[in-house]
Amino acid sequence: MQMLSTRGGAAVTPSMAILRGLAPDGGLYVPASFPTFTAAEIEAMVPMRYAERAFAVLSRFLPDFDAQELRDAIDGAYGSGFDCAQIAPVVKAGPHAHALELWHGPTLAFKDMALQLLPYLLTLSGKKHGETREVFILVATSGDTGKAALEGFLDVPGTRCCVFYPEGGVSRAQYLQMVTTGGKNTHVIAVRGNFDDAQTGVKRIFSDPQFAKEMDRQGRVLSSANSINFGRLVPQIVYYFSAYADLLGEGAIRMGDAVNFSVPTGNFGDILAADYAQKAGLPVGKLICASNENNVLTDFIRTGTYDIRTRAFHRTISPSMDILISSNLERLLFDLSGRDGARIQELMTRLSQDKVYTIAPSMLDALRARYAAGYVDEAGIRAEIARAWRDDHILMDPHTAVASAVLREYQQETGDSTPSVIVSTASPYKFGAAVLESISGSVSGDDFTCCQALSELTGTSVPDAIARLPQLPVRHNAVCDKDAMAQAVLDALR
Ligand SMILES: *Cc1c(COP(=O)(O)O)cnc(C)c1O
């Protein structure tokens, strides 16, 4: 299997795509062809442990890795560090849905599913291509990716990791998780700007030949752990197969039945992994793209126009979805355009120059055949957290609540009774204050007092990874302007 660039550049192997992150032409790497899983192969996953399901999927998407390499990487990633043996359990979420819980890893959000594995894939890829330089990972985070990347790369030999986050744009727990990170190869820098500024700044560093030269001089090579890296996407495909196998196992569906997934979406990585699972043969019905007030994707899926000309950026209680430029959408556009790299190049140029583009009607039809979309505002998120606790005794974080509310609205509007899965992306304790306020109507004190109160109110326990945060020393306090990110990296390396 080869990987193509969405902007038409030369094809490479999966390991090269992972090593590079972004294609040299600025495009994203996508599979030139998809493996196909037969019904029998999917049914065979039912009795498997998560690690075995991961091997079944990864070995087909990453044919240039040998079996032993993949098994070792998977065991390293999912062997310990998760607080639940199933790794990604499916639970009942009220009368009309299940929830796929992706937050049992070390940083309590779904980013761990991929970022626990990516360092292995990246160092293996480096070895395959004779890379002797230190692989230097630059990350822009809206909150959860940063800590998950720092945790994944922490003291991994031959790697270094630098995270940029929007100053004041992440929750208190997310902030403390990042700035208390230890290790000899980690850097954390606040950017005076929002997530899009941080992401744009990182992209600019990646496309700066001077910077690459300086890194090379220092014995370093840049790579990305953002969801533009194919190595982030592949591990996410696994859990859609895993969820389907679990639903089969408990008799909630029969082999071949379609399942809808409602995915709380920001950079379009998580939902695109479901799309790729479908392309690889998983019986998926509708992919429901759920957004918060930053609802550019809702409008795009409904109208075919992606327009950020006059769109305000909203800071919400689901900060990991506070994004206006959704990077992975480019991969979907490439597919919808019939793999027309020149056309994608043109759309992306429009987006950066005019801040707006419209896709052809044929592309929009193809999009709407597989996707539905909706959004909820802040009050809607809080109401859904309260409702889920009151009616179903389920404690949801704000991101999961977005997916849940949008799914319920979709089901009411369309009458679609296809079995449905809410993708649950973070522990409620990662956003303790917002969750407590939603179910009790008031908050007092900081995030940590709120977590205690939430624990007492609901009879659930505060995860260790949160409880110990206030005791840890702050190790990172660099701040930079959004136009000075490259210099901030050089300073950090000095
Ligand atoms: C990153 C994140 C999302 C959005 O996922 P994308 O792949 O960026 O669409 C949703 N919820 C949580 C908790 C996240 O950390």
Which bin fits 263, alpha (ψ -120 to 50), beta or left (φ > 0)? Answer: beta
* For ligand 1, atom 2: residue with the closest CA: 320
- Other CB atoms within a 10 A radius of the CB of residue 216 amount to 12
Instruction: Take atom 14 of ligand 1 and give the residue whose Cα is closest.
Output: 320
Kindly tell me if the per-residue pLDDT of 173 is higher than 90: no
Ligand 1 midpoint to CA 404 (Å): 14
In this predicted model, what pLDDT tens digit does every residue of 62-101 receive, in sequence order? 999 999 999 999 999 998 899 999 999 999 998 889 999 9
Ligand 1-lining residues (CB < 6 angstroms)? 109-111, 144, 227, 264-270, 320-321, 399, 425-426
Atom of ligand 1 nearest to the CA of 236: 7
Q: Could you identify the atom of ligand 1 that is nearest to the CA of residue 430?
A: 13
Residue 326 is predicted with a pLDDT of 92
Identify the pLDDT of residue 226: 84
pLDDT band at 37 (very low <50, low <70, confident <90, very high): very high
Residue 16 contacts residue 24 (beta carbons within 8 Å): no
Return the exposure string of 164-175: e unless at least 16 CB atoms fall within 10 Å of the residue's CB, then b.
bbbbebbbbbbb
Class of CATH domain 91-103+231-464 = alpha beta
Give the per-residue pLDDT at 448: 87
Domain ranges of the chain: 91-103+231-464
Q: What is the pLDDT of residue 440?
A: 94
pLDDT in tens, 251-300: 999 999 999 999 999 999 999 999 999 999 999 999 999 999 999 999 99
Probe target for ligand 1 pocket from 320, 400, 423, with the most ligand atoms within 8 Å of CB? 320
pTM of the predicted protein model: 0.94
Q: Ligand 1 centre and the CA of 414: distance in Å?
A: 26
List, in sequence order, every residue forming a beta bridge with 191; answer none if it has no partner. 166, 480
Q: Bridge partners of 161? A: 137, 186
Ligand 1 centre distance from Cα of residue 264 (Å)? 6
Q: Is 94 left (phi over 0), alpha (psi -120 to 50) or beta?
A: left
111 CA closest ligand 1 atom index: 15
Structure tokens at 348: 């992306």
Which of 101, 104, 110 for mutating ligand 1's site (highest number of atoms within 8 Å of CB)?
Answer: 110
- d(CA 270, ligand 1 centre) in Å: 7
